[in-house]
Amino acid sequence: MWRSLFLAVGAYCCLLGVEALAIEKAVLKRPATASAPAAQKEIAPPEWAPWSLMAAGAVVVLYSFTIPKRVGN
């Protein structure tokens, strides 16, 4: 179970890093309600974030391959 968990977390970090490399900013919109107008929030990833996420994800994926498989139970 730990092996698959670390593999999933590492793959997610790598994909998030690739996505942060591809976008300049992300705009999150909250739907308008009767009492409040629609709100927007812009998120711009810092310059170091894509490369750090991809590197950390790759290290975690490689680590997940070194965890021994459980036999039995």
Task: Give SS3 for 47.
Answer: coil
Neighbours of 23 (CB within 10 A): 11
Given this model, what pLDDT does residue 35 score?
A: 83
Given this model, what pLDDT does residue 2 score?
A: 86
At position 48, the amino acid (one-letter code) is W
Q: Over the stretch 1-55, which tens digit does the pLDDT of each residue have?
A: 889 999 999 999 999 999 999 999 999 998 888 888 888 999 999 999 999 999 9
Nearest alpha-carbon partner for 18 in 43, 55, 44, 71:
55
Task: State pTM to two decimals.
Answer: 0.77
- For the chain, give every domain's residue range: 2-66
Summarize the confidence of residues 45-73 as an average pLDDT. Answer: 89
Task: Give SS3 for 64.
Answer: helix
